[in-house]
Structure 1
Amino acid sequence: MRTDYVHGYTDTETRRLAEQAETLADLLHGDTQYEPGSRVLEAGCGVGAQTVQLVTRSPGIELVAADISEESLAQAKQRVAAEAPDARVEWHHGDLRDLPYADASFDHLFVCFVLEHLPEPVAALRTLRSLLRPGGTITVIEGDHGSALYHPQSPAAQAVIECLTVSQADSGGDALIGRRVQPLLAAAGFRNVATHPRTVYADETVPHLVDGFTRRTFIAMVGSVRERSIAAGLSTPAAWAQGIADLERTAEPGGTFHYTSFKVVGVR
């Protein structure tokens, strides 16, 4: 069972995911708490970077963490064992669109940075909805690369960002999905859907965000598609080097960077 994860299954990507989760922990998870004893499904847990946040912020939950990548799941197990050894987690290797659980098995669903990689997100959401008990909640978090605003502006920098957007589309995903999560959830049958934009703004006055988000999350994410972008003729080695150098300039004194993720909650 495989998936074309646009960023690749590399040690560099694992570090990027961990850095992203840690840097954005309060922003993304600060208002998410599940009651002890509730059964929660994390659909697409990846390497467990968000899993740790779930189990430490909602102690006592019964978490089922599922992912299509066996390698990522193994890393997630190791991460949770090291950082949250008392957590109760059931691990499942499989496609979130075909999970072996009965209807209404879960009190809550959590889906973070996953729909952007799926070719048919509404179909996936409808399948997940069937696993949720009536009155249960779904929380979806997705980014939107179109929200990347930065200074100094640069056509070369914008070109490498567009390479990421095109590469994700070529692999069946949507790098601009954040702006349409609300209508996706509504189309899948969820009700009381509420959207809560979560914006990161980084400049030299907040060096932890410059390093943790601008450099280690966003620029690293763009960098992950270098080889496929050049192979596909979307860029050249020289153009890519210039674009990344210009993006790095936004993380230097005098530079600024802005990005918005969308946290959306709905009810079955």
Structure 2
Amino acid sequence: MSEVERAKGYIHGSTDPREVARLEKQAGFAWRFVGPKFIAHKGERVLDLATGVGAMAEQILMHHPGVRLFGADVRMSQLRSAKANHPGVTLVNADGARLPFKDAVFDRIHCSWLLEHVPNPVAILRECRRVTRPGGTVHFVEVDNATFRLVPPDPEIEAVMDALNRAQTASGGDPFVGQKLGALFREAGFEQVSLSPSALHGRWDDPAFYAECITEFAEIFESIDEAVDPEMAQRAHAAAQKLRARLGMRGSEFHYSGVLAVATR
């Protein structure tokens, strides 16, 4: 199955203004945790793979001005949005498993939240290795939904999370791919791979950060595309309301950990 086929199983909205705003906000939130380990220098060629609407590409340009940034995505609708909002990025319509670039042309590759949606992540990682120069680095940020935990537990919210995980798995994705990144990178031919958990631990007694954590996941639930699964979207929206209701709940906590993999070619 190609990345084109993978896109059909994507369960979030695509380019409506609300979804674009959510993705850009999410990118800024995530960059605080994974950005410090992304190093790029002026003049280097950088690929933002699965760039989507260009949200993470914007973060790269903000923090690394002077790089030659390319953004690749299989979905033309998202690339049109990226072109309108981020003219500093050279955009390419491309399947991540069949990149239209020569060997060893990039110094850095960044990718966020792609492998959770694809049935063959190793094919994409092999392509990344092919187009990265020797000594260059490949950075992937991925999910591990097994780490989602609420204190105190909420069976209804957790049931919705489980249902979303099952739906993603049924569409050929893997909501737990973060815990497999080391093995996947090695299978793709990388010998030097560093893995770092990106842990979120929000508590009721740190209301500002707690609100950021809760809001981030509530907005993910609210982004479920009704055109894909109306019943799931309705359940997810109800779960989002319950999540938001936890703000100010004495003793409540939120736990989640994504995974950052940095591999050297």
Give yes or no for TM over 0.5: yes
Q: TM-score, normalised to structure 1's length?
A: 0.87
Deviation at 1:226, TM superposition (A): 7.2
Q: Does residue 24 in structure 1 map to residue 30 in structure 2?
A: yes
Q: Does residue 37 in structure 1 map to residue 33 in structure 2?
A: no
Give the one of 58, 74, 77 matched to 2:80: 74
Matched with 2:120 is 120
Asked whether the 8 Å contact 1:108–1:138 carries over to 2, the reply is: yes
Specify every segment of 5 or more residues in structure 1 that has no aligned partner in the other structure, as ranges. Answer: 82-86
Amino acid at match of 1:9: S
Deviations 1:102-158 (A, max 9, x none): 111111111111111111001111122111112211011012111111122111111
Deviation at 1:177, TM superposition (A): 1.0
Matched with 1:6 is 11
Q: Sort the Cα spacing of 1:133 and 1:150 in 2 relative to 1 into closer, same or farther, 3 A.
A: same
Asked whether the 8 Å contact 1:163–1:229 carries over to 2, the reply is: no
Amino acid at match of 1:219: A
SS of equivalent to 1:33: coil
Q: Sort the Cα spacing of 1:144 and 1:236 in 2 relative to 1 into closer, same or farther, 3 A.
A: closer
Deviations 1:64-86 (A, max 9, x none): 111111121122223324xxxxx
Amino acid at match of 2:169: A
Amino acid at match of 1:267: T
Identical positions, percent: 31
Q: Does residue 247 in structure 1 map to residue 243 in structure 2?
A: yes
Asked whether the 8 Å contact 1:41–1:110 carries over to 2, the reply is: yes
Q: Does residue 160 in structure 1 map to residue 166 in structure 2?
A: no
Deviation at 1:225, TM superposition (A): 3.5
Deviation at 1:242, TM superposition (A): 5.7
Asked whether the 8 Å contact 1:20–1:212 carries over to 2, the reply is: no
- Report the Cα distance in structure 2 between the residues aligned to 1:95 and 1:209, rounded to whole angstroms: 36
Amino acid at match of 1:76: A
Q: Sort the Cα spacing of 1:54 and 1:244 in 2 relative to 1 into closer, same or farther, 3 A.
A: closer
Asked whether the 8 Å contact 1:167–1:229 carries over to 2, the reply is: no
- Report the Cα distance in structure 2 between the residues aligned to 1:94 and 1:196, rounded to whole angstroms: 28
Q: Does residue 51 in structure 1 map to residue 48 in structure 2?
A: no
Q: Sort the Cα spacing of 1:10 and 1:260 in 2 relative to 1 into closer, same or farther, 3 A.
A: same
Amino acid at match of 1:246: K
Deviations 1:143-197 (A, max 9, x none): 2111111122111111001111112112211111111111111111112101011
- Report the Cα distance in structure 1 between the residues aligned to 2:44 and 2:128, rounded to whole angstroms: 17
Asked whether the 8 Å contact 2:103–2:130 carries over to 1, the reply is: yes
Q: TM-score, normalised to structure 2's length?
A: 0.88
Map 1:86-101 to 2 at 5 A: 87=88, 89-101=89-101
Specify every segment of 5 or more residues in structure 2 that has no aligned partner in the other structure, as ranges. Answer: none
- Report the Cα distance in structure 1 between the residues aligned to 2:158 and 2:93, rounded to whole angstroms: 37
- Report the Cα distance in structure 2 between the residues aligned to 1:99 and 1:226, rounded to whole angstroms: 28
Matched with 1:84 is none
Deviations 1:204-235 (A, max 9, x none): 344443333312x212212333745565xxx6
